[in-house]
């Protein structure tokens, strides 16, 4: 699943970075901006509607200086820039069913955090996730989907071990949250780039879950075993 190329340090030429290190927000500031954006979205006060095509194109010509790399699900109900009320160029977004980490996902994440120097990396799951539902229900899946959602099986196993009595919606919600932690752990374990940036303090990695019924983002914080995982791998 993860070729050896992803176990070594990768250094990108920062061709997408138009500013300097001093221009970037801190990880804490980047998170605050995203939290404020979701609050605007909930309040019906989105700033996105204020900008016409001319403004968007002008902003795009200046190059990209995203404040965060975000791994989310491909679900059509979860447009990340919209629910976080962030302008074009503000987020470096990767979307894949079940917000799982695979080789292509990991390489794209590394580009965001290393080449574009985003100070914040967020893994955002969401309620009523179809991929998590299929795995939790033991549905028969065809094509390449079983390989894609295999990490969600690990999340399900962890939930079953910890909460053996959970069923139905409670089980699904626990799997959705655990799957966020699973994706973060996979990144930390399989990317020396991500580990190195976290270790030196230039990158923060946070989990989150978007509620498609309320529009609110639940911010989970860092992986509870982040320091242990990094210490194990050196």
pLDDT tens readout for residues 136-190: 999 999 999 999 999 999 999 999 999 988 999 999 999 999 999 999 999 999 9
Dihedral angle sign, alpha carbons of residues 53, 48, 14, 9: negative
| pLDDT reported for residue 84 | 97
| pLDDT reported for residue 49 | 75
| pLDDT reported for residue 193 | 96
The radius of gyration computed from the CA coordinates of the chain, to the nearest angstrom, equals 18
| pLDDT reported for residue 18 | 39
pLDDT confidence band for 135 (50 / 70 / 90): very high
The DSSP call for residue 4 is: G
| pLDDT reported for residue 17 | 34
24 and 64 in contact (C-beta within 8 Å)? no
| pLDDT reported for residue 16 | 36
Q: What is the pLDDT of residues 83-130, one digit of tens each?
A: 999 988 899 999 999 999 988 899 999 999 999 999 999 999 999 999
The DSSP call for residue 115 is: I
Fold of 15-233: Beta-carbonic Anhydrase; Chain A (3.40.1050)
204: enclosing H helix or E strand:
strand 204-210
Per-residue pLDDT averaged across 4-29, rounded? 53
Residues in the chain, overall count? 234
Query: Could you state, in order of their start, the residue ranges of all structural domains in the chain?
Result: 15-233
Least Cα distance to 149 among 157, 159, 160, 141 occurs for 141
The DSSP call for residue 138 is: T
Other Cβ atoms less than 10 A from the Cβ of 226: the count is 18
Q: How far from the centroid of its chain's Cα atoms is residue 134's Cα?
A: 21
What Å distances lie between residue 36 and 14, 39, 55, CA to CA?
28, 5, 22
Looking up tokens 């399900």 gives 156
124: enclosing H helix or E strand:
strand 120-126
Q: How far apart are CA 202 and CA 64, in angstroms?
A: 19
206 and 200 in contact (C-beta within 8 Å)? no
Beta bridge pairs of residue 91? 68
What Å distances lie between residue 186 and 6, 9, 100, 116, 123, CA to CA?
12, 16, 9, 21, 11
């Amino acid at each position: 699943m993860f070729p050896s190329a992803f176990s070594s340090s990768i250094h990108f030429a920062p061709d997408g970075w138009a500013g300097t290190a001093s221009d970037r927000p801190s990880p804490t500031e980047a998170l605050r901006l995203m939290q404020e954006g979701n609050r605007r979205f909930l309040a019906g006060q989105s700033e996105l509607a204020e900008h016409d095509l001319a403004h968007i194109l002008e902003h795009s010509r200046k190059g990209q200086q995203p404040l965060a790399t975000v791994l989310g699900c491909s679900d059509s109900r979860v447009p990340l820039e919209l629910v976080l009320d962030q302008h074009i160029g503000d987020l470096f977004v990767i979307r894949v069913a079940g917000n799982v980490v695979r080789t292509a996902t990991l390489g794209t994440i590394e580009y965001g955090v290393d080449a574009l120097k985003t100070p914040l990396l967020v893994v955002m799951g969401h309620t009523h996730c179809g991929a998590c539902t299929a795995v939790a229900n033991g549905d028969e899946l065809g094509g390449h989907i079983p390989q894609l959602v295999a990490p969600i099986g690990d999340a399900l196993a962890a939930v079953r071990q910890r909460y053996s009595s959970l069923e139905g919606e409670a089980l699904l919600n626990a799997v959705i949250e655990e799957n966020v932690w699973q994706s973060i752990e996979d990144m930390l374990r399989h990317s020396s780039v991500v580990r190195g940036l976290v270790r030196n303090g230039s990158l923060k990695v946070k989990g989150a879950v978007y509620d498609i019924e309320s529009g609110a983002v639940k911010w989970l914080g860092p992986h509870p075993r982040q320091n242990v995982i990094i210490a194990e791998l050196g």
